[in-house]
Structure 1
Amino acid sequence: MPPAVGLSTSSIYPAGVAETFSVAAELGYDGVEVMVLRDPDSQDIRRLRELMDRYGLPVLAIHAPTLLLTQGVWGNDPWDKVDRSTELATEVGADVVVLHPPFRWQRSYAEHFVGAIAERERLDGMRLAVENMFPWRARTRRRERVMQAYLPGWDPLEHDYASVTLDLSHTATAGLDRAQALAMADELGPRLAHVHLADGTHSYKDEHLVPGRGDQPCAEVLAMLGSQGYTGAVVVEVNTRKLTPDARRAALTASLAFAREHLAAGERERARVPVPRPAPEEG
Structure 2
Amino acid sequence: MTSSIGLSTASTYPESTAHAFGWAARLGFDAVEVMVGIDAMSQQIPAVRQLAEYHAIPVNAVHAPCLLFTQRVWGTAPWGKLERSAEMAHEVGAGVVVVHPPFRWQKEYAAGFVDGIAALEESTGIAFAVENMYPWRATSRRGMDMYVPGWDPSAETYANATIDLSHAATSRSDAVAMAQRLGPRLRHVHLTDGTRSAKDEHLVPGRGDMRADEFLKHLSGGGFDGHIVLEINTRRAATSAERERDLVESLEFAREHFSVRTP
d(CA) in 2 for partners of 1:74, 1:246:
34
Counterparts of residues 152-167 of structure 1 (less than 5 Å): 152-167=149-164
d(CA) in 2 for partners of 1:3, 1:186:
20
Say whether 1:210 aligns with 2:207: no
8 A contact 1:30–1:58 mirrored in 2: yes
d(CA) in 1 for partners of 2:234, 2:170:
18
For normalisation by structure 2, the TM-score amounts to 0.96
Say whether 1:191 aligns with 2:185: yes
8 A contact 1:199–1:209 mirrored in 2: yes
Q: Which moved more, 1:43-52 or 1:108-117?
A: 43-52
Structure 2: which amino acid aligns with 1:197?
L
d(CA) in 2 for partners of 1:67, 1:3:
29
Structure 2: which amino acid aligns with 1:255?
S
8 A contact 1:5–1:233 mirrored in 2: yes
Q: 1:122 to 1:41 in 2, by over 3 A?
A: same
Counterparts of residues 51-66 of structure 1 (less than 5 Å): 51-66=51-66
d(CA) in 2 for partners of 1:158, 1:225:
20
Q: Find 1:249's aligned residue among 226, 244, 253.
A: 244
Give 1:38 shift: 2.2
Structure 2: which amino acid aligns with 1:154?
W
8 A contact 1:3–1:230 mirrored in 2: no
Gaps of 5+ in 1: 272-283
Question: Partner residue of 1:4?
Answer: 4
d(CA) in 2 for partners of 1:14, 1:135:
26
Question: Partner residue of 2:127?
Answer: 127
Counterparts of residues 20-169 of structure 1 (less than 5 Å): 20-139=20-139, 144-169=141-166
Partner SS state of residue 122, structure 1: helix
Say whether 1:171 aligns with 2:165: no
Give 1:145 shift: 3.6
Give 1:47 shift: 1.2
d(CA) in 2 for partners of 1:166, 1:72:
25
Query: How many percent of aligned residue pairs carry the same amino acid?
Result: 55
Question: Partner residue of 1:260?
Answer: 255
User: What is the RMSD computed on CA atoms of the aligned residues?
Assistant: 1.3
Give 1:212 shift: 0.5
d(CA) in 2 for partners of 1:34, 1:263:
22
Partner SS state of residue 235, structure 1: strand
Give 1:120 shift: 1.0
8 A contact 1:3–1:232 mirrored in 2: no
Give 1:217 shift: 2.4
Give 1:2 shift: 3.2
Structure 2: which amino acid aligns with 1:193?
R
Which string of whole-angstrom CA distances, capped at 9 and with x for unpartnered residues, describes residues 49-92 of structure 1?
Answer: 21111111001100000111111111110000001000011100
Partner SS state of residue 214, structure 2: helix
Partner SS state of residue 159, structure 2: coil
8 A contact 2:163–2:175 mirrored in 1: no
Give 1:197 shift: 0.3
Structure 1: which amino acid aligns with 2:254?
A
d(CA) in 2 for partners of 1:118, 1:2:
31
Max radius of gyration: which structure? 1
Gaps of 5+ in 2: none
Structure 2: which amino acid aligns with 1:221?
F
Say whether 1:232 aligns with 2:226: yes
d(CA) in 2 for partners of 1:209, 1:256:
13
Partner SS state of residue 144, structure 1: coil
For normalisation by structure 1, the TM-score amounts to 0.90
Structure 2: which amino acid aligns with 1:70?
T
d(CA) in 1 for partners of 2:37, 2:117:
22
